[in-house]
Amino acid sequence: MTSEMNSWLPLKGIRVADFTQVIAGPACSMLLADMGADVIKIEPLAGDFWRRTVSGSAFLNFNRNKRGIAIDLKKPQGHESVMKIIQKSDVLLENFTPGTMDKLNLSYEKVAQVNPKIIYCSISGFGQDGPYRDRPGYDPIAQAMSGIMINTGEPDRPPSRVLPTMVDYLAGNHTAYAIVLALMDREKTGKGKRFDIALLDVAIMQMGQFVAMYTMTGELPVRMGSGYLAAAPYQAFETKDGYIYITVTTDEMWKNLCQALKLGHLFRDPRYSTLDGRRQNRPELAAEVTKVTKQYGSRELESIFVTANVPCGRLMNIDEIIQDPHVQFRQIMEDIEDPEKGKVKIIKTPIFVSGKAPKIRRRPPLLGEHTSEILKELGYSQQEIQELLDKGIARQYQA
């Protein structure tokens, strides 16, 4: 780790009161924490539900570099403690169903009274207003309602969701971007901001080119499996031992592929001599190319294509990705030692500075791990902290 990367924490000094759970919100605050922000994860006494879901893997991945406090903010003393955190924070981040923060007496209006410069960010399924505002929203629901899901999968099979919660993560990215912009703006104006980020809006944005195409041509997109409408051959092809993805977008690439696989008869075929021709005859072309790719192992074929300057990539699963020499060279993964889960690989934020990604400075917090530490910073005496713990208003992790 270079000294520059160790010291490059541009958000150091920024404090985030993080009420979020699941993925979209924690992904946002993770990006801020990776860049130096003091993110205080505020959890109920039972903890973030995702601590216990899918073996806690999502929680571990999206909550590094944060401190954690467990407190019952429905109790007056718990609410008072949380308000003290908010008073000393630059950002408040929440992803409850709209109206929940109002019920907790933590609405933007209430918070802005005690901290007028606060940057208050809400992530929800459908936004803070509109006919669907009260509906709970999740990543696959956004995929379903945005056109992503109905257009994903093989043509003759049911629609498929994208397995990673990409809409959640993109919503977190957009929110982090908005927060950084608001921090820059506050330097000039002295004023905070109120942000409303909706998963459905973020998902629809990903379908932008297809919306534009429909308004211009009246054509709806269709499921193409691993293919893509812009070019051919442009999809996953079967090999002896798996699949390889090939993207041929130019006539030069097509020539290179035909030379590499000794497909002179296809190169001379007038049906495939142009990009439009290859697109229009996609199924027939794919069948012809597959006859040859099935004769090779995927690693051998990848080597042939790389040498021939044909863009490609083997379809790899997690076990292969971890062992991949390029992935290892980039050091995008880092092992953390969790007291409860043992050694776990975490993916770092892919923003490289001086050749290195941001360091994981702190593993994800155990439930209530920093409760006493944070309360002490807020001015509570040890006796007052113990009183909150004894009354079951706050929780401190004990090994």
How far is residue 331's CA from residue 5's CA, in Å, rounded to a whole number? 14
| Residue 36, SS3 per DSSP | coil
Where do the H-state alpha helices sit in 128-274? 139-146, 166-189, 199-206, 208-217, 251-260, 264-268
Q: Catalytic residue among 34, 168, 196, 201, which? A: 168
How far is residue 341's CA from residue 85's CA, in Å, rounded to a whole number? 29
360 contact partners, CB below 8 Å, separation of at least 6: 34, 64, 65, 334, 336, 346, 348
Q: Residue 196 forms beta bridges with which residues?
A: 122
How far from 73 is each of 77, 78, 103, 108, 368, CA to CA, in Å? 8, 4, 11, 16, 14
Degrees, nearest 5: CA angle 105-109-112: 105
How far is residue 279's CA from residue 271's CA, in Å, rounded to a whole number? 10
Strand positions, DSSP E, the chain: 15-18, 38-43, 66-71, 91-94, 119-124, 193-198, 234-238, 243-247, 312-314, 333-338, 342-347, 394-395
Question: In 3D, which of 65, 31, 61 has the Cα closest to residue 351?
Answer: 31
How far is residue 162's CA from residue 146's CA, in Å, rounded to a whole number? 13
Q: For residue 136, with 0-12 CB atoms within 10 Å meaning exposed, 13-18 middle and 19 or more buried, which class applies?
A: exposed
Pairing mode of beta strands 333-338, 394-395: unpaired
Instruction: Specify whether 251 is catalytic.
Output: no
- Which residues are known to be catalytic? 168
